[in-house]
Amino acid sequence: MDWFWYFIIYSFLGFCLEVIFAWVTHNPKRDRKCFYLLPLCPVYGLGALAILALPAGVMQRPWLLLVCAALAATAAEYLMSLFYEWFTKVSFWDYRHLPLHINGRVCLLFSLFWGLLGTVLVHGVHPRVAALAEAIPARAALPGAMLLLGDAGVTVYLLRRTGTTGCLRWYQALARRPLGEKRQG
């Protein structure tokens, strides 16, 4: 069950990292949600799992870890991009404006970031995340999985129906409406 929680925790940390990155780079799309309700970016969860699945011999060699983490997470990113485009009919990111990209799905610059993040993950973050995941009671797994699957189902349905990631920003309509104003309709 730990791997499930690793996925959830790293997807959440990835969401936080994306929001910070958007804020620092003054990106107009400040929210980086990939689910309708949950603040998760699953590409980070899958990338982290791919890195954590690397052999112990790789983990013990910093330069090899950097390269293998970059390759493993970039592969996860490419596959997630294919999944989003094929299954949900939307694209969450496009690197065509950056040099050395592959179909806009991955690029060298972000692959290098993945490698650095992977090194930090293995040697700094994961021991704490592993302790946190181990502390989560077993009885939380089923409700957690049901929430994740339910939100994923709603998300896929809405993305396919609307053809845009804008449907995930439902809360923006609430922010534009003055407090106490009733919805007409």
Nearest to 78 by CA among 93, 60, 64, 58: 93
Nearest to 130 by CA among 1, 43, 2: 2
Return d(Cα 14, Cα 62) in angstroms, integer.
Answer: 22
**What interhelical angle do 108-120 and 42-52 show, nearest 10?**
60
Residue 184 falls inside a structural domain: no
Model confidence at 60: pLDDT above 90: yes
Domain region containing 12: 2-176
Asked if 73 and 112 count as a contact pair (C-beta separation under 8 A), the reply is: no
How many CA atoms are closer than 13 Å to the CA of 18, on its beta-carbon side?
A: 22
pLDDT at 175: 61
Model confidence at 77: pLDDT above 80: yes
Residue 142 falls inside a structural domain: yes
- Which run of H or E residues covers position 107? strand 106-107
Residue 183 falls inside a structural domain: no
Tell me how many domains the chain contains: 1
Q: pTM for the complete prediction? A: 0.89
Residue 185 falls inside a structural domain: no
Residue 137 falls inside a structural domain: yes
pLDDT at 23: 87
Residue 164 falls inside a structural domain: yes
